[in-house]
Structure 1
């Protein structure tokens, strides 16, 4: 890595995520500072060393770092070529202030599943079009972080609950175009968001966001077959825009909405490559 520092930061429209930051620092070193949010950090290139509560820590690509709010820390590259990182800043109440001490004691985790989930969530947030998927992935990330922080507490087993899954499916079916947030569904079903995602996935074999996308693609197919122009179908079926519809439509059906809606006749036959000479009237 070389060149100038590059930073991209934005505030996604997902409850609980106050900021997302993607950065490449060839030489920059952070002075000691604090954040008013939980900092979930992964490193994609290089390695980082930082001090937290007067103790030195290191973060490599295989790890996840969770820095608690209001605790001073700094940051610098271990290697001369710098580092590249991605960061989620989560609202303090998402993990709670009672777990700050546990995070100070153990801010790094070697957890491939957690890191992969964080990587997936960054992709969803960067896309900015899959709100329910972002909420679902964030909920599972927060649950796993909480498990690490409470590793000395025996958690109750995850229950299988077909009734919860069925009620969530009813809500999704009733809100196909406008959608429903995971928090709203949680309140209506009276179940924790993480339990909602797990119960639904176990019962139906796919997560809620993928189920909702499939329902929207089905709805788009009906609109297309009814003669609506492909340019109008995205909004009618609940997609962010036409490119959003096109991506999911191709993923599920292998063709674009415009191709799907092309007129077709079962009587159509392939024309021969060479034509026979027309017969004269007298040869009939």
Structure 2
């Protein structure tokens, strides 16, 4: 049975996320206006690109360039389970049209780090309210792809900057509830997005999205102890909804928001202990 899930996330550079399980479907020759970034989770895919046949097994990352026709089919037509794949359609300016030729010549990479980063990006894109994490992971994926496609012309990474890290931290602190996108922060602070990520992580020992989440959890703790119901505390502290708060709250604090706050009052005759 063919199964498909597709959506457009609110993340700059990603035109579409496409998850599919195909048992019989065969793609005819077609082309996209976007980059097609493909990983296969089960089975394997065969496709023709620029009159050459290629394969996409589970351990390979495949990048198909915009405007270049290709097709697709199961590499094992006799397998009743078909294949499962996850695809990111990236806007054509996400990588640069100067890389189309290199992608046509070498559309597949055996790169465990790149595949892991793409897997993590898919995870972030599935969750509402995690745009900063998704943008950060997309930046690292794009950087890795450029390194693989054009290593001779890739600009060397800048040395992590404490100033860049501090400026990004101050920006996040000023917008805890509203949040800030990585691309918007890079434009405002005049640093490359990847440089901001590296600088922040080096300086503070965590990625920017982890820092933002920890600050939101901290804000929610105060609201909960003041008696605000978890659902209201979630949105008031910048989370998408109560389940979004609960997922991160338990990871950081160790208990659910409801158990943490109780009824918002310390037991009579005792002082409430602060959770570090």
1:29 pairs with one of 26, 29, 53: 26
Name the structure 1 match of 2:266. 264
Instruction: Find runs of 4+ consecutive structure 1 residues off by over 6 angstroms.
Output: none
- Per-residue CA distance 1:152-173 (angstroms, 9 max, x = gap): 3363244121110000000000
Residue equivalent to 1:95 = 95
Change (3 A) 1:91 1:157: closer
Pick which of 88-97 and 219-228 moved more.
219-228
Match of 2:126, SS?
A: helix
Task: Give secondary structure in 2 for the equivalent of 1:76.
Answer: strand
2:11 is aligned with 1:14: yes
TM-score by length of 1: 0.91
**CA offsets, 1:87-145, max 9 Å, x none?**
00000011111110010010000110110111111111112320100000011101111
Deviates more, 1:129-138 or 1:155-164: 155-164
Correspondence 1:48 to 2:48: no
2: CA distance, partners of 1:248 / 1:76: 40
Question: Contact 2:64 / 2:103 at 8 angstroms: preserved in 1?
Answer: yes
Question: In 2, distance between residues paired with 1:192 and 1:251?
Answer: 30
Contact 2:157 2:195 survives alignment (8 Å): no
Answer yes or no: is 1:140 the counterpart of 2:140.
Answer: yes
Corresponding position: 1:250 with 2:250 = yes
What are the ranges of 5 or more consecutive residues in structure 1 without an aligned counterpart? 269-284
Corresponding residue of 1:217: 217
Q: Which of 49, 70, 74 is matched with 1:73 structurally?
A: 70
Cα separation, 1, equivalents of 2:255 and 2:33 = 46
- Structure 2 equivalent of residue 191 of structure 1: 191
Structure 2: gaps spanning 5 or more residues? 271-276
What's the secondary structure of 1:92's corresponding residue? coil
Q: Distance in 2 between matches of 1:157 and 1:126?
A: 29
TM-score by length of 2: 0.93
* Structure 2 residue 206 is matched with structure 1 residue 206: yes
C-alpha RMSD of matched pairs (Å): 1.2
Count of aligned positions: 265
Rg comparison, structure with higher value: 1
Query: Do the aligned residues in 1 keep the contact of 2:147 with 2:154 (CA within 8 Å)?
Result: no
Are 1:62 and 2:59 counterparts?
yes
The answer for the alignment partner of 2:229 in structure 1 is 229
